[in-house]
Amino acid sequence: MGGAGVTGTFVGMPTFPVAARRALGDAQLRHNLGQATATIRAKRQRLVEEVDAAVPTSAADPQGLGGWEALRRAGAAVKEAALRSLPEHLERLEAELVANGATVHWARDAAEACSVVAAVARAHGVREVVKVKSMVTQEIGLNEALEAEGVAAWETDLAELIVQLDEDLPSHILVPAIHRNRAEVREIFLRRMKEVGRAAPDGLGDEPAALAAAARSHLREKFLSARMAVSGANFAVAETGTLVVVESEGNGRMCLTLPEVLVSVVGIEKVVPTWEQLDPMLRLLPRSSTGERMNPYTSTWSGTAAGDGPGEVHVVLLDNGRTRALADEVGRQALRCIRCSACLNVCPVYERTGGHAYGSVYPGPIGAILNPLLNGVGHDDQVDSLPYASTLCGACFEVCPVRIDIPSVLVDQRAQVVDAHRGRRRSGEAVVMRLAAATLADEGRLGFAERFTGVGLRAARRGAGWPGLRRWTGARDLPRPPRESFRAWWRRTGGGTR
Amino acid sequence: MRVALLVTCLNDALRPGTGQAVVSLLRRLGVDVDFPLAQTCCGQPLVNTGYLDEAVPLVRSFVRTFESHDAVVVPSGSCAGSVRHQHALVARRAGDPGLATAVEEVSSRVHELSELLVDVLGVTDVGAYYPHTVTYHPTCHSLRMLGVGDRPRRLLEAVRGLRLVDLPAAEECCGFGGTFALKNADTSVAMGFDKVRHVRGTGAEVLVAGDTSCLTHLGGMLTRQRAGVRVAHLAQVLASTEGDVWGEPA
Ligand code: SF4
């Protein structure tokens, strides 16, 4: 893993089209994803409508910005303002944290962050840590890094536990095991729990309650024995040095309160200046992610508190490509992301390929822009393929609670991919595109090309054709070529009669 | 009123019937339609694939061709969206403030067909007759980039003889996506088949949309499946009258 490498977890993944092709052939995956995303989309939609319905439409809202749209704009504004004065807010956050008894570490990249966490584990002589579900620790490949130091990191979020037990990779931000159904989960629990801790009970069924109970007793053992926990944070409130974690299961709170030592890895973009500004975020996040009005558990902690919770608290403030993204004029808005997954759930591409095809812990539309932004483009075909993993249909932008214009960032990232390859090896695509540009820009040449299109279509329909065409004709007929182009018709008739 | 038609490359080369229908429809409504022969491609395929420099001459040519017209009509949500939302991007890339100003000026007068009819001409009943059961797919760029809303629906509902049936999951993308259809052909096809499944489930004879690109993709799947469902551009439905029903181009 290089300095700017986002994660070690997905190393060596094929490009999106190749991985997608494989995923599309997995009937079980397609079914599981279709069901799960449809359910969560409907839940979110109901709540958005509820927010809109709660706001009486009136003259006070002349621009027609109803409740939800107003909330989105507020959320986007909070994050945007925080990003504009990031250094100032981070310094405040650090000062408050230190004043509250926490130790603050700054990490430029994944390797630095992992070594901080490993050093804390070493200092306390722990062989295992419990983990709160967190994207950033996956981003930096923390579990693998700790394992290399002989420290076992146990995921305690139910879906993360499923993925970890199966030695699988996460495929969704919120529901990393979304690609699994309950029959598969039962099988994983029966097969694997006994190898790493308390076994699943004999005769385990696949009812959600039974599976949750099995996970609970398996995890309870870990909570009670672990002396160190690792978390991320959904938000970091600068004015009081407070980290915030929202979750549904309560397992995160166990990790945050039971062990003696707590290390939280926090991306620098997570900072919000004040509690007041946290307010719209905490209303947007649960509605957009789990489709709930409020998440069941909201844990907040500001450093250490005598006799309450961990006595030693570390906070690792992580860059790992974020300042690079921040410098990107168009792409920087991606740092507003609150990892709600609404864009995944609504994405027609994600719904069909699942998350693994994106080759990163950040899949779906946000992954398609965030990975190139954090890593840079032009040096890895896998990363370069991601901005193209979209039809630019715009459904993601429509649901994003912080109004990240993902389609515009995708187009900009595509331009950066193309630019990065300018003057290097000439790809077939670049040649075709330049030829097309020259043809399309000139009326005379365009007229010629139209005649050529007719000839080409006729030949292709007869079965001749070039290999690239098969990508079209594999599943779709070509249109019948017209007798004459529109242009020719207009010239002939002046737009008179057909 | 004098309106210039930006016919779009696909309609020009593959579906001239769409452009002919626009001309026929607008003339019936008393509009003076012009087709500036100097027009070229709007540049969308290049921009969406990342070739911004290559798109600069196309944007210049667009501005030159259309700057003197009161209004420009485009029978494509996607190309209208490209002009209104991407030309500014290309002009900024060209680093030419003059071009940027001209783009802003011209693109504000560019309307997708249903926008021109409803907003500029103020009609929803265009006097059309189309005796078929149809279902309507709102294409992504008209829906989300332009926000045409229910304009196409209102136009279709006013057509005599036409029975409009709801398309399930109508707002989901059909999977075309320009070069996406080739770069990610497998995913594109998976999305397209799901759309086609919904279309077939409606029992409609005709699938109507405002973008020839999506219709070429979906129409190609429908004929491959021998589905017995044909596709028609919104313009063709609206151009149809008792004596002259527009079908697929011959
Ligand atoms: S990009 Fe927007 S919708 Fe997607 S995960 Fe981030 S905040 Fe949620």
Structural domain ending residue among the three candidates A399, A424, A449: A424
Q: At B121, which helix (H) or strand (E)?
A: none
pLDDT at A472 over 90: no
B186–A441: do the CB atoms touch at under 8 Å? no
Closest CA relative to residue B66, chosen from B39, B27, B101: B39
User: At A260, which CATH number?
Assistant: 3.40.50.10420
Query: What confidence tens digit (pLDDT) does each residue in B143-197 have?
Result: 999 999 999 999 999 999 999 999 999 999 999 999 999 999 999 999 999 999 9
pLDDT at A194 over 50: yes
Give the residue with greater pLDDT, B216 vs A440.
Answer: B216
pLDDT band at A423 (very low <50, low <70, confident <90, very high): confident
pLDDT at B248 over 70: no
Please indicate, yes or no, whether residues A292 and A331 belong to a single structural domain of this protein: yes
pLDDT band at A434 (very low <50, low <70, confident <90, very high): confident
* Single-letter residue type at A449: A
Distance A417 CA to ligand 1 centre (A): 23
Query: What confidence tens digit (pLDDT) does each residue in A352-366 have?
Result: 999 999 999 999 999
Q: Which atom of ligand 1 is nearest to the CA of A338?
A: 7
Q: What percent of chain A has pLDDT over 90?
A: 81
Q: What percent of chain A has pLDDT over 70?
A: 89
Please indicate, yes or no, whether residues A307 and A323 belong to a single structural domain of this protein: yes
pLDDT of the residue at A124: 98
Q: Is A174 in the pocket of ligand 1 (CB under 6 A)?
A: no
Say if residue B172 is exposed, middle or buried (CB neighbours under 10 Å; 0-12, 13-18, 19+). buried
B35–A433: do the CB atoms touch at under 8 Å? no
Please indicate, yes or no, whether residues A221 and A317 belong to a single structural domain of this protein: yes
Please indicate, yes or no, whether residues A334 and A441 belong to a single structural domain of this protein: no
Q: Write the ipTM.
A: 0.95
Query: What confidence tens digit (pLDDT) does each residue in A134-152 have?
Result: 999 999 999 999 999 999 9
DSSP class per residue in A332-366: GGGGG-----HHHHH-HHHHHH-SGGG-SSS-HHH
DSSP class of residue A482 equals P
Calculate mean pLDDT across residues A13-41: 94
pLDDT at A386 over 60: yes
pLDDT at A424 over 90: no
Calculate mean pLDDT across residues A40-49: 96
Please indicate, yes or no, whether residues A420 and A432 belong to a single structural domain of this protein: no
| Euclidean distance between CA atoms B163 and B132, whole angstroms | 6
Token readout for A43 is 């839940």
* b/e burial code for range B24-57 (CB count within 10 A of at least 16 → b): bbbeebebebebbeebbbbbbbbbbbbbbbbbbb
A24–B187: do the CB atoms touch at under 8 Å? yes
Judged by DSSP in three states, A163 sits in helix
* Inside any domain, residue A498: no
Calculate mean pLDDT across residues B9-28: 95
pLDDT of the residue at A4: 40
Calculate mean pLDDT across residues A108-120: 98
Chain B residue closest to A414 (CA)? Answer: B50
pLDDT of the residue at A474: 84
Mutate which of A246, A285, A404 for ligand 1? The one with the most ligand atoms within 8 Å of its CB, which is A404
pLDDT band at A59 (very low <50, low <70, confident <90, very high): low
* b/e burial code for range A6-20 (CB count within 10 A of at least 16 → b): bbbbbeebebbbbbb
pLDDT at A52 over 60: yes
Q: Is A395 in the pocket of ligand 1 (CB under 6 A)?
A: no
pLDDT band at A192 (very low <50, low <70, confident <90, very high): very high
Structural domain ending residue among the three candidates A393, A424, A455: A424
pLDDT at A422 over 80: yes
pLDDT at B55 over 60: yes
pLDDT at A7 over 70: no
pLDDT band at B245 (very low <50, low <70, confident <90, very high): confident
B39–A485: do the CB atoms touch at under 8 Å? no
As a three-state string, the secondary structure of A261-281 is EEEEEEEHHHEECCHHHHHHH
| Euclidean distance between CA atoms A471 and B175, whole angstroms | 13
Residue A498: partners with Cβ closer than 8 Å, 6 or more residues away: A489, B17, B20, B24
* B133 Cα to chain A: minimum distance (Å): 23
* A463 Cα to chain B: minimum distance (Å): 14
Please indicate, yes or no, whether residues A53 and A194 belong to a single structural domain of this protein: yes
| Euclidean distance between CA atoms A283 and A439, whole angstroms | 51
pLDDT band at A2 (very low <50, low <70, confident <90, very high): very low
* Inside any domain, residue A305: yes
Calculate mean pLDDT across residues A299-303: 96
Token readout for B192 is 């397209």
Mean pLDDT of chain B: 95
Of B12, B17, B189, the CB nearest to A475: B189
* Inside any domain, residue A131: yes
C-alpha torsion A53→A54→A60→A65, nearest 10:
-50
* Inside any domain, residue A33: yes
Residue nearest to atom 6 of ligand 1 (CA): A337
Query: What confidence tens digit (pLDDT) does each residue in A250-260 have?
Result: 999 999 999 99
pLDDT band at B246 (very low <50, low <70, confident <90, very high): confident
Please indicate, yes or no, whether residues A294 and A307 belong to a single structural domain of this protein: yes
Please indicate, yes or no, whether residues A193 and A64 belong to a single structural domain of this protein: yes
Do A472 and B180 form a contact (C-beta atoms < 8 A)?
no
| Euclidean distance between CA atoms A374 and A371, whole angstroms | 5
Q: Which residues in chain B are contacts of A480 at CB distance < 8 A?
A: 249
pLDDT of the residue at B249: 42
Mean pLDDT of chain A: 91
Do B88 and B104 form a contact (C-beta atoms < 8 A)?
yes
pLDDT at A63 over 60: no
pLDDT of the residue at A369: 98
pLDDT at A121 over 50: yes
Please indicate, yes or no, whether residues A228 and A172 belong to a single structural domain of this protein: yes
Q: At A298, which helix (H) or strand (E)?
A: strand A297-301
pLDDT of the residue at B32: 94
Chain B, residues 108-137, CB within 8 A of chain A, namely none
Do A389 and A350 form a contact (C-beta atoms < 8 A)?
no
Structural domain ending residue among the three candidates A424, A448, A482: A424
pLDDT of the residue at A1: 34
CATH of domain B133-239: 3.40.50
Q: Is B187 on the interface with A (CB under 8 A)?
A: yes
Closest CA relative to residue A137, chosen from A318, A351, A384: A318
Query: What confidence tens digit (pLDDT) does each residue in B182-226 have?
Result: 999 999 999 999 999 999 999 999 999 999 999 999 999 999 999
Please indicate, yes or no, whether residues A42 and A81 belong to a single structural domain of this protein: yes
Count up the domains in chain A and report the number. 2
Structural domain containing residue A139: 1-424
pLDDT of the residue at A391: 98
Q: CA B41 → CA A167, B74, B147, B177, distances in Å?
A: 50, 12, 23, 17
pLDDT at B1 over 90: no
Q: Is A172 in the pocket of ligand 1 (CB under 6 A)?
A: no
Judged by DSSP in three states, A205 sits in coil
Token readout for A276 is 């007041």
pLDDT of the residue at A61: 61
| Euclidean distance between CA atoms B57 and A60, whole angstroms | 46
Top residue of B7, B32, B61, B173 to mutate, by most chain A CBs within 10 Å, is B173
Top residue of B187, B224, B231 to mutate, by most chain A CBs within 10 Å, is B187
pLDDT of the residue at A457: 66
**Strand locations in chain B, DSSP E?**
2-5, 32-34, 71-74, 110-112, 133-136, 163-165, 206-209, 230-233
Please indicate, yes or no, whether residues A386 and A457 belong to a single structural domain of this protein: no
pLDDT of the residue at A443: 65
